[in-house]
Structure 1
Amino acid sequence: MTTVIAFLGAGSVVFTRELLADILSYAELRDDVTLALHDIDAERLETAAAIARRTAEQLDARPRITAGLDRRAALENAHFVINAIQVGGYAATVRDFEIPARYGLRQTIADTAGIGGIFRALRTFPVLQGIAADMRELCPDAWLLNYTNPMAMNVAYLGTIAPELKVVGLCHSVFWTVHDLAALLGVPLDEIDYRAAGVNHQAWLLRFAHRGESLYPRLDALLQSDSELRRRVRMDMYSRLGYFPTETSEHSSEYLPWYLHHDEEIARLRIPVGDYLGISAENVAEYERTRDTLRAGDPLPLPERAAAEYAPQVIHSIVTGTVRQIHANLPNRGLITNLPQGYAVEVPCVVDRLGVRPEYVGELPAQLAAVNRGLVNVGDLTVRAAVTGDARMVRQAAMVDPNTAATLTVDAIWALCDELTAAHGDLMPETLRQ
């Protein structure tokens, strides 16, 4: 049976290129697979299709490739749906930074929690609702592999409106955290045993060991001897909370009330305020370079090694029965007992022919669960706002956000939400445009 993989938001060309290269590197997938590409931007879709054709040619693979502006055509009979959409694109991201900045609110990435995460979620939910409706009709048994941020809010929303769909959120932050710590400590990555749990972009390394011995004492010694290494947000978090967080310092700084509204902390921990604007601009530039490379007929640079993204691994495991363990995001149905049930959590999962099966974690250390609840509170209220159509709840989500609450008065928070709602206009759910 031919495996059908639909790519929604295929115009995210750099990401699509890496996923395609990984998928087509598997012998079981390189020929007997259909790649159904979809985007709402015709030029980006054309570029994505050219990437797929060129990647297949350079890897000597023979997939069937389709590309279209009709989402339903891409989803029909799909076995896997990879979601990488960005509703509103670069222009919406700029609004999410520039408008809050006028109120004095500092952000770094603005895609997970906080004001940026709330409004990114609210303009994504209507599209997710449409995707869920289409999948119920066209591919009800497909796995929806979500990469779109805010990850936890999106997975929780889908779990609320379409609990019958097989939805899993995939993020590489756990893997790359361990990868980078292995390099820092000089330990081979494949010899490290690790286990993480929490919420997306704020999970914690509960186990971090080499040949049965914890690596935390070695990290402690390194931090004690290196004052510059201590000048990073997540090193500071680790030293105070006792477990290492699985997202970068740039991300982590804006999930907490402790750092971004203090000038001295920004300097001490070298926090790059507004960092994602530069990253987004570079992504646009990279797209243009890739498009021009394809138009010129030049060879497409492919990753020298696997990109370590989970979607190709998940697809390969489900198709072939190969057993793997990953960390993924699913609704909390008894998985972490001291975090709210129903909201999305990030936990270890086994993947094989039966699908993605989350493992029971139990209680997180109390201080970790307490910090996680700050993100969960924001996301839960945002999801509830969209489901109920209660516009006040959007403002309440912003009021309980740790960084926003530490920076702005409640009047300023409400005025900021009013302004962002107006600025995003028709991208917002209709019931929340008041």
Structure 2
Amino acid sequence: MSFKIAIIGAGSVGFTKKLFTDILCVPEFKGIEFALTDVSEHNLQMIKAILDRIVEANKLPTKVTATTDRRKALEGARYVISCVRVGGLEAYADDIRIPLKYGIDQCVGDTICAGGILYGQRNIPVILDFCKDIRDVAETDAKFLNYANPMAMNTWAAIEYGKVDTVGLCHGVQHGAEQIAEVLGAKSPRELDYVCSGINHQTWFIELRLNGREIGKDELVAAFEAHPVYSRQEKLRIDVLKRFGVYSTESNGHLSEYLPWYRKRPDEITRWIDMSDWIHGETGGYLRYSTETRNWFETEYPQFLEAASKPIDPSKRSNEHASHILEALETNRVYRGHFNVKNDGVITNLPQDAIVESPGFVDRFGINMAAGITLPEACAATCMSSINVQRMSVHAAISGDIDLLKLAVLHDPLVGAVSTPEEVWQMVDEMVVAQAAWLPQFAHAVPAAKERLSRSRVKTREWAGAARRSVRSIEELRAEKAALKQAG
């Protein structure tokens, strides 16, 4: 087969390498073209060298190009994959730092909550630029695969305003299923059959069967509470399972910031999180992890390049959806997964315009969603709170309406549980001013926001959060890696 895949944000080196090797595990795809594009020439050259080494080591006819000219990369592409982080770690640091001044403690802050909403404001204008280029220069009816967060907002904007065939992809469902299979004693995740449905990062395992046997709430609670690791790392998820009756796909730390109950009191936060890894609830955990990963990659790049000389092992193909979707579309080998799409009847008790994450099947006719799913009422209610915030956030990003943006932030479940309206209004002004370079749609509102900040009397505080850790140095990371290797 011969077609072109464009990857936007290809400077996300580790993820791009994973997508690349996954796709080349499909035998029919050996002769395709990958066009890499990113705003960073430096990162582009690093990832291109790694992918070129993979191609050379495996004696493949695969073509790899790299350019900072996005439009050129998209010319003639059949598939476009986005994994961008608009504003990079600089803007992301403000997504965590500024809300902390107002008492809002986030673990990740890239989906909703104050940080996720501002992240969406940075992303959506760029996503619409991608869509325009796709309509103009890609193959007719090219498919846009969005991996970038905030998943629902980005996908919503691309479908409703970008007018491009778009699907949002995430790995939360797969990871949750792996956990459930493990606690139930399955030999392989394949033994677990499940229906998982909701919205991205608030998706719920509403049906579970292990080797054909139905698994109920009580058995699942007992299995998680008996597990020597998850009983400690997933305390909040287990509590939600007990109260809602179904398990959530999202990590302990992520889930904690989507709900109004677990992170609103600083003295309560440590009760529900675990500090063994960032993903279990650490304040600004993903920001720290991302910073350390970038620094580590920059320093250890020669080792990453050397590792690229190894043969591709199809048995190590990941469970990221992209390669499996492309394989199904191009070869008609059917693939079942969970995809982010416009609702349109998929989930009966969520709004029809919302972006939902639910089961679907892929073949040469496209992505075909299982329709008519009804969520448990508590799950639907929790999803609705986020959907309302997502809808307002998308419309604010499109219109540049700072008042609507403030209302979106005010209605966020955790923000509303922690902050007063006055605090929210000032916080949004501060975030828009700090991130003005990435928010062109709000340029007209920045002068007035600065003026309001100059005379504001809302008190803030310098607070690191309830469970903050410092970014580790390269030397510390090396020492930790060596200790783990010796212990293992």
Fold shared per TM-score above 0.5: yes
Question: Is the Cα contact below 8 Å between 2:397 and 2:441 reproduced in 1?
Answer: no
- Displacement of 1:198 in angstroms is 0.3
User: Does structure 1 residue 237 correspond to structure 2 residue 240?
Assistant: yes
Q: Write out aligned runs for 1:90-169 (5 A).
A: 90-139=89-138, 140-163=140-163, 165-169=164-168
What corresponds to 1:52 in structure 2?
A: 51
Structure 2: 5+ residue runs without aligned partners? 274-280, 446-488
SS at match of 2:208: strand
**CA distance in 2 between partners of 1:241 and 1:361 (Å):** 21
Secondary structure in structure 1 of the residue aligned to 2:36:
strand
Q: How has the CA–CA distance of structure 1 residues 256 and 15 changed in structure 2, closer, same or farther, with 3 Å as cutoff?
A: same
**1:399 is matched by which residue type in structure 2?**
L
Measure the CA separation in 2 of the matches of 1:277 and 1:138: 35
Pairwise CA distance, 1:363: 2.1
Question: Whole-Å Cα distance in 1 between the matches of residues 372 and 440 of structure 2?
Answer: 35
Look up the match of 2:254: 251
% identical equivalent positions: 35
How many Å apart are 1:166 and its aligned residue?
Answer: 1.0
Deviations for 1:116-172, whole angstroms, at most 9, x for unmatched residues?
110100001111111111111112411100000000011111121123x21000001
1:262 aligns with: 265
Q: Deviations 1:287-319 (Å, cap 9, x if unpaired)?
A: 314533367x56557787122111111111111
State the one-letter code of the partner of 2:395: R
Name the CA distance, whole Å, in 2 between partners of 1:214 and 1:85. 40
Rounded to whole Å, the distance in 2 between the matches of 1:275 and 1:389 is 30
**What is the CA distance between 1:226 and its match in structure 2?**
6.4
Q: 1:432 to 1:364 in 2, by over 3 A?
A: farther
Give the corresponding residue for 2:396: 385
Amino acid at match of 1:10: A
Q: What's the TM-score, normalizing by structure 1?
A: 0.95
Structure 1 pair 218–58 and aligned structure 2 pair: CA distance change class (3 A):
farther
Per the alignment, do residues 433 and 308 of structure 1 end up closer, same or farther by CA in structure 2, a change over 3 Å counting? farther
After superposition, what is the alpha-carbon deviation per residue over 1:174-209, rounded to whole angstroms, capped at 9, x for unaligned? Answer: 011101221122113111111111000000001111
- Unmatched tracts of structure 1, length 5 or more: none
Q: CA RMSD in A?
A: 1.9
TM-score normalised according to structure 2 size: 0.85
Aligned residues: 431
Q: Larger deviation: 109-118 or 60-69? A: 60-69
Amino acid aligned to 1:285: N
Distance 2:286 2:303 in 1: 25
Question: C-alpha distance in 1, partners of 2:126/2:171?
Answer: 24
Tell me whether 1:285 sits opposite 2:286 in the alignment.
Answer: no
Q: Match of 1:232, as an amino acid?
A: K
Contact 2:82 2:148 in 1 (8 A): yes
CA spacing shift, 1:247–1:146, aligned 2, 3 Å: same
Structure 1 letter corresponding to 2:250: E
- Structure 1 residues 182 and 433, CA, compared in 2 at 3 Å: closer, same or farther? farther
Kindly state the Cα deviation for residue 359 of structure 1 after the two structures are TM-superposed: 1.6
Map of 2:276 onto structure 1? none
Structure 1 counterpart of 2:341, which letter? L
Counterpart of 1:391 in structure 2: which amino acid? I
**Which of the two has higher C-alpha Rg?**
2
SS at match of 1:108: coil
Q: Is the 8 A contact 1:255 1:403 kept in 2?
A: yes
- The CA deviation at 1:356 is 1.6
Matched, 1:196 2:201: no
Native 8 Å contact 1:11 1:45 kept in 2: yes
Aligned CA distance change for structure 1 residues 299 and 211 (closer, same or farther; 3 Å): closer
* Residues 169/224 of structure 1: CA separation in 2 closer, same or farther (3 Å cut): closer
Which secondary structure does the structure 1 equivalent of 2:239 belong to?
Answer: helix
